[in-house]
Structure 1
Amino acid sequence: MRSVRRIQGDGNCLFRAFSYILTGSADQHIGVRHAIIDHMTNNAQYFRGHHLVGYGSIQSYIAFTGMDQDGTWGTDIEMLSLAHLFQTPVFSYSQQHGQWQRYSPHDVDRQLMDDIHQSSLKAVIFCLRGTGVSTIADLSEEGISLSGALAGGALKCFPQPLSPC
């Protein structure tokens, strides 16, 4: 079975996609954005160094980018924060570059643990596409292979392609 869900590309698309995955509705994106921002602020000690190059602190990052404002595009820092908040890996696929990026909940503290091979693994999967945001139930039907990101093991996932808004 294949299902496609378009997500509004209004600058909130990352948070709308997260909202859709978490609640079944993209309408809760403001609450999801605030939960992610609160998590980053309350766990600032984890979001240092390589995550905030050029910003210095999570507070500076939020202030400079306006990440707490409606309509501000989410970045890899927010994907990493979601992974940490829900203790589940987040994957993004760049159709343009043909490669996967993995955001592990363990990446925030640089303990790069390999939890890919666990049979109980759950993941949130996004695909960066030039044509808009959709939810695709079967990535193989879209010609997207997980083999570039996963070496083996069972994968239960919530597919959610994503493109920059």
Structure 2
Amino acid sequence: MFVSKLEKKILGDGNCLFRYFSYFLYNDDNLHHYIRMNVVNHVFKNCEYFGRFVLNDPNNPEILDKNSYKFYMSQNGIYGGEVELISFSQIYPILIVIYTDNFPPIYYSRDLNTQFELNLHLSSFIDKGHYNVLLNSKNNNFLIYYKKIKSKEYYMNKKNNMNVIQRKKINGLIKSIDLIRLEKKRNKDRKSSMSVKRLQNKRNYIVFFTCLIKLINARISSFQSLFQFRSGTAVLISRKMHSNR
């Protein structure tokens, strides 16, 4: 049995679960709207995991899909239950311990070795009843730590993104160099091929003109022989004519 002076009383207006989250993080339970928005959005984005718990729930027949869940749970005064507890424990590195009067403690956390511990007293079952924050919760300046973690995550993500961009630039540069080299090789091959063709053409021209010259010389020789033959024949004929006289 918990003594009331060990608890921080939270207003029972249907927002008590989100109010105690707000009180633990900011020492002010009036920021429960912001906490509700983060928790509900986390469930909405991870509906593949949470869908089996929130869809087709007979206690909430108005929730048929993730959109109707988001619309319903985003309203002020809607009671948060175990799904929202799990969602909060996945968002923040905090160990949540739920104490009841008649049952053993229930633990929710993504990291059981965390230095931050949020202890709650629940007056009834998980999805019913009213929550109060126990004053022995270990906040340990959680917001300062969380901001550092987020800054580190932001820096690492930015660094990783820069590395990805640099790798893409390097890969693009390598591809450009490879393309330039390939184009140079193609040009060289083209020039080599053209040189071979030109040389072959020159050889063909030389062979052609050599054959042509030989043919011309042969024709000239034949013409000369024919001319000499005709000249000799004419001389013989003239001599015969003179002798006959």
TM-score interval (norm. to shorter): 0.5 to 0.7
Aligned mates of 1:44, 1:17 — CA distance in 2: 24
- Over residues 42-77 of structure 1, what are the superposed CA-to-partner deviations in whole Å (9 max), with x where a residue is unaligned? 22233233x3363464434445xx211000111000
Aligned mates of 2:22, 2:16 — CA distance in 1: 9
1:75 maps onto 2:77 in alignment = no
Deviation at 1:9, TM superposition (A): 0.6
Please state which structure has a larger fraction of its residues in helix.
Answer: 2
The RMSD of aligned alpha carbons is 2.7
Q: Name the counterpart of 2:109.
A: 104
SS in 1 for 2:78: coil
Aligned mates of 1:78, 1:21 — CA distance in 2: 16
Number of residue-to-residue matches in the alignment: 125
Aligned mates of 2:115, 2:66 — CA distance in 1: 29
Q: Name the counterpart of 1:44.
A: 47
The one of 46, 53, 56 equivalent to 1:54 is 56
Residues 4, 89 of structure 1: alpha-carbon distance in 2 compared, 3 angstrom cutoff: closer
TM-score (norm 2): 0.44
The one of 106, 113, 122 equivalent to 1:128 is 122
- Over residues 116-146 of structure 1, what are the superposed CA-to-partner deviations in whole Å (9 max), with x where a residue is unaligned? 4x3x4422221112696543324xxxxxxxx
Q: Name the counterpart of 1:24.
A: 27
Q: Name the counterpart of 2:12.
A: 9
Q: Name the counterpart of 2:135.
A: 137
Where structure 1 has 5 or more consecutive residues not aligned to the other structure, the ranges are: 106-114, 139-155, 159-165
Q: Name the counterpart of 2:36.
A: 33
The one of 138, 152, 173 equivalent to 1:157 is 138
Where structure 2 has 5 or more consecutive residues not aligned to the other structure, the ranges are: 58-63, 140-245
**Aligned-residue identity in percent:** 26
Q: Which has the larger radius of gyration?
A: 2
Please state which structure has a larger fraction of its residues in strand.
Answer: 1
Residues 124 and 157, structure 1, Cα contact 8 Å, conserved in 2? yes
SS in 2 for 1:73: coil
TM-score (norm 1): 0.62
